[in-house]
Structure 1
């Protein structure tokens, strides 16, 4: 990925529109989205069910193709990449934290966390050693050889975070990452995600309908009916939508 100066966005969304055919009509999920997200930001895509936030997440991560427009990451037009190139790009630059954890049930915590390194061709002994260190960092030193069914929801999500960050991706997408957790565990998980992002200057795209979750972000982009209706900085924001004015 090209190394852009601080003033350049890491993600550029240009005139994105997404339509879905539904019987005899067309559903417009995203109308015309233009958005810049900068390196090191924790950006929340906020909205109720049906607002278009999950569709926008899929566009940003290259999981779906737009009907019109394009998403650029580090200057690369990911919306136009062939699937094989796009998959390789995601492996190099993107991590995911899911609401449902998405750990493989037949793999241990160590094996689950080491999985992204396998796709980079790293030998098993080396990748599992790195995975164990990562699990220790998220407080799972006592769960290294446990399977997902032997861990609580909070422990599974900690393993999910370790997996998402193990390759030091440029961008981590967190889709309702605490939706299945209690309030105390939610706070721990969000502090962990934000802590990694601050330390390694990574960009976090947080998708949620929960105002308490949105409060962890530097910036909240609110969607209603497939349109951005507000884009606001939070009081503790460490970055600026126009970095040139923040010097």
Structure 2
């Protein structure tokens, strides 16, 4: 069976923080390939460098050395304007703290990426409503974040991340603030969307149960990749 193309390529990546007389190696000589359609889990304990790696992949931080290529473009060489345009077109984000705009309704939060993309109001509201129905929030479209539970807010975050069908969706500890029932629902929704549209989902977690949903697990320790595992199809939860 032919392998899917590489959508993320990382080569000789270092992230070093200068702490006065001491240099802290947050990432050290990272080499990594992630293929189109993969559910990739970056796994490791607190302080292992997994969130730093995600920030590098998402273009939120510049590397000290090395490079990151996504969708054929070297994002580590882009300036802030180029990165913003790239993320708008190619990336979606799901955060542990949900990062919803508090004075926007669920519908308005989900429609936000479409607004930045220049989609007319009527069309973006129609698409946002469709996404909210898909995540089971058809009765919460006009509700504000403070009127929703954590699980419901994260579903809004999922709908927002996937509404533009980006090639890559980044999820940083997306279930860290949720109970076990909501965690299962959120994981199943994210994976189902990614599978349906053949998107790449890159997930950061320290939770082994969440890693069970991935087909590619990258384990970090002290800023280095210490293990990579590719699961067989029958071993993946979804």
TM-score range, shorter chain: over 0.9
Match of 2:152 in 1: 155
The answer on 1:8 being equivalent to 2:10 is no
- Counterpart selection for 2:59 from 59, 62, 85: 62
Match of 2:20 in 1: 23
The offset of 1:85, in angstroms, is 0.8
The answer on 1:87 being equivalent to 2:65 is no
Distance 1:237 1:208 in 2: 22
Residue 7 and residue 202 in structure 1: after superposition, are their counterparts in 2 closer, same or farther (change >3 A)? closer
Match of 1:245 in 2: none
Distance 1:158 1:238 in 2: 26
Match of 1:190 in 2: 187
- Counterpart selection for 1:115 from 103, 112, 116: 112
Distance 1:69 1:145 in 2: 45
The offset of 1:7, in angstroms, is 4.6
The answer on 1:164 being equivalent to 2:158 is no
Residue aligned with 2:169, SS: strand
The answer on 1:173 being equivalent to 2:153 is no
Distance 2:201 2:232 in 1: 17
The offset of 1:170, in angstroms, is 0.2
Residue aligned with 1:96, SS: strand
The offset of 1:235, in angstroms, is 3.9
* Number of equivalences: 235
Over the aligned positions, Cα root-mean-square deviation in angstroms equals 1.4
Distance 2:104 2:152 in 1: 15
Match of 2:40 in 1: 43
Match of 2:72 in 1: 75
Calculate the TM-score normalised by the size of structure 2: 0.96
Calculate the TM-score normalised by the size of structure 1: 0.92
- Counterpart selection for 2:222 from 201, 212, 225: 225
The offset of 1:95, in angstroms, is 0.2
> 1:111-148, CA deviations, whole angstroms, 9 ceiling, x for partnerless residues?
00000000111111211111011100000000000000
Distance 1:29 1:53 in 2: 9
Distance 2:232 2:143 in 1: 40
Residue 82 and residue 93 in structure 1: after superposition, are their counterparts in 2 closer, same or farther (change >3 A)? same
Residue 237 and residue 72 in structure 1: after superposition, are their counterparts in 2 closer, same or farther (change >3 A)? farther
> Which structure 2 segments of 5+ residues have no match?
none
The offset of 1:25, in angstroms, is 1.1
User: What are the within-5 Å matches in structure 2 for residues 128-143 of structure 1?
Assistant: 128-143=125-140
Bigger Cα displacement from structure 2, 227-236 vs 36-45: 227-236
Runs of 4+ in 1 over 6 A off after TM superposition: none
- Counterpart selection for 2:207 from 200, 207, 210: 210
